[in-house]
Amino acid sequence: AQKVTQAQTEISVVEKEDVTLDCVYETRDTTYYLFWYKQPPSGELVFLIRRNSFDEQNEISGRYSWNFQKSTSSFNFTITASQVVDSAVYFCALSEGYSTLTFGKGTMLLVSP
Amino acid sequence: DTEVTQTPKHLVMGMTNKKSLKCEQHMGHRAMYWYKQKAKKPPELMFVYSYEKLSINESVPSRFSPECPNSSLLNLHLHALQPEDSALYLCASTMPGDTQYFGPGTRLTVL
């Protein structure tokens, strides 16, 4: 069975601080996909990144970066120089091949000015 | 274009009402999903349609009735709901095995 753990329920930072959101996953498959979604207060789930299990390269997109480590079954997400607009709930999710998404419980990030 | 649209944005209904939620995508996706999300929780999968056929029903009560009239449209018919059904209802679409893209959701309140 697949499982995603986001141990941080809520994180509060001040603007311009760097922040890392942790994600640990469990799966028996060798082929799987990892995702991060952002959910601002408006409610829409915004897709941020998709990674397949064969690609351990770290990814950077602007102020966002992702660190995928199969050895520790982790897919962590770092926001550099956080901004108030980054305030949202962030979900890490896993799918095995053509299976449905398994979500973590989410981490609420609050960035204050 | 990765847009999934949902209407209405907000819905308030009584327990005896019948209403429908609508979801539309024009990305050529062949799988569409309904999720229910309660406050401070992750989305919970309700139904999956793949190539217009219902492929997954996560033991959802029969007061929720999905319908997929064509590959671009997904409806969720609501009847005799309970106050505990109040939630954010999210629609998503994808090509099977690919990334799910979500709509903005419908906030449903059952009085």
Q: For residue B85, give the DSSP letter.
A: G
Q: With an 8 Å Cβ cutoff, is A91 touching chain B?
A: yes
Q: Tens digit of pLDDT for each residue in A45-88?
A: 999 999 999 988 889 999 999 999 999 999 999 999 999 999 99
Query: In this structure, are strands A33-39 and A46-52 parallel, antiparallel, or unpaired?
Result: antiparallel
pLDDT of residue A68: 96
A45·B92 Cβ contact <8 A: yes
Which chain B residues are Cβ-neighbours of A45 within 8 angstroms? 43, 90, 92, 102
* Nearest by CB: A43 against B41, B99, B104: B104
Question: How much is the pLDDT for A99?
Answer: 73
The helix/strand count (H/E) of chain B reads as: 0, 11
- For chain B, residues with pLDDT lower than 50 are none
> Phi and psi for B84 in degrees, rounded to 5?
-70, -5
**Where is pLDDT greater, at B58 or A7?**
A7
pLDDT of residue A56: 87
Chain A CB within 8 Å of residue B43 CB: yes
CB-based contact B88 A43, cutoff 8 Å: yes
Tell me the shortest Cα–Cα distance from A12 to chain B, in angstroms: 16
Q: Is the pLDDT of residue A98 over 80?
A: no
Q: How many helices and strands in chain A, by DSSP H and E?
A: 0, 12
Percent of chain A exceeding pLDDT 90 equals: 88
Nearest-neighbour CA in chain A from B84: distance (Å): 19
pLDDT at B1: 59
